[in-house]
Structures are given as structure tokens and as C-alpha cells.
């Protein structure tokens, strides 16, 4: 309920910061969702000798 004797409230910097904060939270939630989707659909990273071979485009040395 507003008091008719008071002038209309002017939006200020605080209101803008609240809107910006809400927008950032929404964007962050979407980015986290996208990252989780990508992690769920990518193969696990190569390990040990497989990583060596992948980086050097050569067969892994014996014993790695």
C-alpha cells in the first residue's frame, strides 16, 4: 500500500544492482547446466601412455 502524499519512488543504483545480480545468477545457472551436460557427454581423458601418444602422435613407449 502506498501513501498518496509521498512522491513516486525513483529507481536508483541499488535497484539496478539487484536486477544485475539476478541476471548474473540466472546466467551462471545456465552456464553450470551447460558445463554439466558437456561433462556428461565427453569421453574420459586419456591416461599415462595414451596421453603421451596423443600429444606426440606416436605410439606409446613400452612400459608406459
- Each residue of 36-60: pLDDT tens digit? 998 888 877 666 666 667 777 666 5
Q: How confident is the model at residue 15 (pLDDT cuts 50, 70, 90)?
A: very high
What is the CB-side half-sphere exposure of residue 25 using CA atoms within 13 A? Answer: 6
- Identify the pLDDT of residue 24: 96
Amino acid at each position: 500500500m502506498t501513501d498518496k502524499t509521498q512522491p513516486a519512488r525513483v529507481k536508483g543504483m541499488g535497484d539496478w544492482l539487484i536486477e544485475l545480480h539476478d541476471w548474473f545468477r540466472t546466467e551462471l545457472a545456465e552456464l553450470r547446466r551447460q558445463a554439466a551436460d558437456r561433462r556428461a557427454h565427453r569421453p574420459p581423458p586419456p591416461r599415462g601412455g595414451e596421453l603421451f601418444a596423443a600429444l606426440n602422435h606416436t605410439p606409446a613407449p613400452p612400459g608406459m
